[in-house]
Amino acid sequence: MATELYDLTVPVFQRGFAALSAFLEKARAHADANGIAHAELLEARLYPDMHPLPYQVQRASDAAKFTIVRVGQVENVPMADEEKSFADLQDRIARTLALVATATPEGMNGREQATITIATPNRSFEMSGIDYVRGFVLPNFYFHLTTAYAILRMKGVPLGKMDFLGSV
């Protein structure tokens, strides 16, 4: 039985972003109900050398969108990292999900051995489609999703494990 790259990614992104969107809405409501400036949550980070909340959403977005571009062979939709409010972050999630929705099983499945090239400012590297999804994309996506959750929990937002898991 073949690995279905579409099934390993698209539903994961859809569910993860639904949860992330709900985290952000709970955070906004918590801030409003408790007189907390939105900036206090948006600028929060787990440790001084880590990135704040918007960065976590942006990198989760990039993990999903570059999977759709690199594996699903869909044209990239550039997204500048300019989000500064909860509404901006919700819009980023919506735009990412719109791009994810353009992926098709036919465009992704069967690309397990396709060469995926990752170019960073410092270097480039290649891996197979399946290694890219399992060893790079999904860990990165969950890292940033978890970090966003942890930042908001640290700031007192009433989130629990079921908020992270979403609907099961």
| C-alpha span between 76 and 79 (Å, rounded) | 9
Residue 1 has pLDDT above 60, yes or no: no
Q: What is the pLDDT of residues 71-112, one digit of tens each?
A: 999 999 999 999 999 999 999 999 999 999 999 999 999 999
Q: What's the average model confidence in pLDDT over 131-138?
A: 97
Closest CA to 26 of 111, 153, 161, 121: 153
In the chain, the domains with their CATH numbers are 5-159 (1.20.120.450)
How far is CA 126 from each of CA 111, 134, 168, rounded to the nearest angstrom?
14, 14, 34
Q: What's the average model confidence in pLDDT over 48-55?
A: 97
Rg over alpha carbons for the chain, rounded to the nearest Å, is 16
Q: What's the average model confidence in pLDDT over 30-41?
A: 98
Give the pLDDT of residue 125. 92
Q: What percent of the chain has pLDDT over 90?
A: 94
What's the mean pLDDT when you consider all of the chain? 95
